[in-house]
Structure 1
C-alpha cells in the first residue's frame, strides 16, 4: 500500500547526514511553501547553490528477462547484464515492468544485494507484487532521481533540485525543488526568464528559445537580473 506524505522529519533542510534518515525522494514542504526532496549526493561533493542532476540508468540493467515471481512476492532475484551492482545501489529506486506479463507496473525497491557483472541481484520491494511475473516479462532497474545526485554539466539530464548547503560526497541532504531558492547563475538573465541547466556544472541559465528546446525547465529568474558566476534568486518549479 502506498504510504502517505510524511509531515515530520529528523533532518533539517540545511543539514547533511552520512546516514540515511528518510526515504530518498521524500517530499518536504516548509511553512513558507518551499519544497525539498530527500536526496543522496553521488561520488562528488555538491556546493551550496548548485543544481543537482539525476543519475543515468545503467543500460545493461534495462529490459532484462524476469525471474518468475508470484502475486504477493516482495523478494525477487534478477540476473543483470555486463555491469556490477553495488549493495543498495537501487535503494528507493524502482523495478519497472517494460513488457509482457505485468507491463506498465512498477514497485519501489527497499534494498538490493551486491552482485558482479552478469550475476544475480536480490531485490526487496517496499510493496508486494500485484501481478505475477513470468520469464517472458521484461523488467528494468531504475534508480531514484534523487539517489546519486551530481552537479553535472550534462545539460539535457533531469534536474532534481538545488543544494541549500555544501554537501559532502555520499551524504544525504534535502535538495530544493520548489519556491524561492539561491542558485548558481551562468551568463545573464533578466527577471522572468525561464531557467534551464547551464553549461557550467551546477548552474542555471536563461533558456534560449532556438537552442534549448531539448532542455528541461528548472525555474524562473526572480527578483533580480542574473550576474554570471553569482548565486542569484530564482523560483524553482521542479515540484
Structure 2
C-alpha cells in the first residue's frame, strides 16, 4: 500500500488558516461580537511568542484553544456549519499544482491523507469532494450531548504528533514507505517528509528549501 500525505497550510492551502479564522470571526454577522474578547485573550500569548518567551508550538496550541473557546456556545452541528461558511473563500486559495498531484495519486490507487493542525471539522468542510481517504486534524472536544467541553484541553496536531496520528491511522496496513509521498512547505513538516521515500517540498520556506536541496528532494 502506497500513501501520499498532504499538509494543509502553505501546501494545499496557500495561506494561513488561523488568519482566515480570525477574519471570519471578526466579520461574522452573528458571532462578530465574540471577536474582541477573543482578541484580548490571544494578544498576550502572541506578544509572549514574539518576545520568544512562549515557544511556537505552545502558542499555536493555546491559540486553537482560545479560538474554540470563543465559540463554546455553539453545538457541534452549528460549529460545522460555521466552518462550512469558509469553504468558498478557502478554495480560492488552494494550490492548483497540489490539487493535480492529489488527483494523480488517486488515479494511481494511492491512499491519500490530509494531515494538518487545522480543526478537523474545518478540514472536512473545505476539502469535501477532493477524495481524501483519511483526514487527520485537531479535534475540538465535545460532550456527549454535543456541546463544547471546556474541561478537555485541545491536543494540537503539529510536528511529531502528526507522525503519531499517521501511524495510528495506518496501523495494521503494510505500507510501501519507499514509494510513498509526502508534501509540505515548512521545516515543521520535516518529521512527516522524512517518513517517505518521495518527499516533496511545496513552495518551501527558506529553511526547508535548504534541506530539500541538500537531500535532493523534489521541489514543487
Give the TM-score range, shorter chain: under 0.3
Q: Which has the larger radius of gyration?
A: 1
TM-score by length of 1: 0.24
Higher helix share: 2
Structure with bigger strand share is: 1
Give the TM-score normalised by the residue count of structure 2: 0.25
